[in-house]
Amino acid sequence: MVKSAECWVKLGTWDRMRDWATPIRMQVFVLEQRVAPQEELDDMDVACLHAVAFDAQGRAQGTGRLLPDGHIGRMAVLREFRGLGIGSAILDMLVNEARGLGYHSVALHAQTHARGFYERHGFVAEGDEFEEANIPHILMRRSFEAPDRET
């Protein structure tokens, strides 16, 4: 668990985090962005590590997940908490966890309007835009530097 100026971010399995993550994802992706509910919740949730951000009152503010192949996905912050650094706290937690697990890089499918957010976090766009759930996306990747080794 990591505390930022705006929130606490907790990591856990889908069994532990689903009750907080699901309503956020339904609000952001299904209600706001009109993604079909059957597309939003998928079979990969049980295999992922999930991050959920909470405010000081214990309200869930945002979520994201790390897939077993090193992809980050389902990044979502409730509208009233956007612009407060919640997404950055979640993304930083997931990136740091991936690095700690030994991944050499992480990738994600960024909605094109969020490209600048991910670039500020060290992600680089790869390839052409594509549609996912009827929303324009771009593949982005962040590579980790190899640790210095003494010779």
Mean pLDDT, residues 97-104: 94
- What is the rounded distance in angstroms from the CA atom of residue 59 to the CA atom of residue 62? 9
Domain boundaries, the chain: 2-103
pLDDT tens per residue, range 60-100: 999 999 999 999 999 999 999 998 999 999 999 999 999 99
Confidence band, pLDDT 50/70/90 cuts, at residue 3: very low
Q: For residues 28 and 75, is the Cβ–Cβ distance under 8 A? A: no
CB contact at 8 A, 139 and 127: yes
Rounded mean pLDDT of 10-25? Answer: 97
**What is 2-103's CATH topology?**
Aminopeptidase (3.40.630)
